[in-house]
Amino acid sequence: MKKTLFAVLFGFVLILAACGGGGDDGDASETAAGEDLYQQNCAACHGGDLSGGAGPSLENAGDDFDHDEVVSIILEGYGGMAPVDVSEDEASDIADFVTSQ
């Protein structure tokens, strides 16, 4: 009886694992990673909600700059902003988050 119950439960777990985590969540997970990186590297100046502070608001950054421009700004700096010490992939994730807001 225990073996049968275990086999059924194990099969159920395998089915759930096979069905979950797929789909088009790549963009969502990149945006979530970008939000975490933004909070760690950018929020002190640009605000936790992108509303600004010591640095300008980024609430409409996606209207003014495209993804690649935001990556460049992050890696090279812009105006009085120093370059941010992140990898290009991390800068891309941050840009995904900022331009999607």
CATH code, 81:
1.10.760.10
Number of domains in the chain: 1
Establish if 37 belongs to a structural domain.
Answer: yes
Q: How far apart are CA 71 and CA 3, in angstroms?
A: 54
pTM (2 d.p.)? 0.71
pLDDT greater than 80 at residue 29: no
Whole domain around residue 79: which residue ranges? 26-100
Would you say 46 and 56 are in contact if contact means Cβ atoms under 8 Å apart? yes
Average pLDDT over residues 15-44: 72
Strand (E) or helix (H) holding 89? helix 88-100
Name the pLDDT band for 3 (thresholds 50, 70, 90): low
pLDDT greater than 80 at residue 42: yes
Alpha helices, DSSP H only, in 1-101? Answer: 2-19, 26-41, 43-46, 61-64, 67-76, 88-100
> Which pLDDT belongs to residue 98?
95
Six-digit token string for 71: 């990556």
pLDDT greater than 70 at residue 91: yes
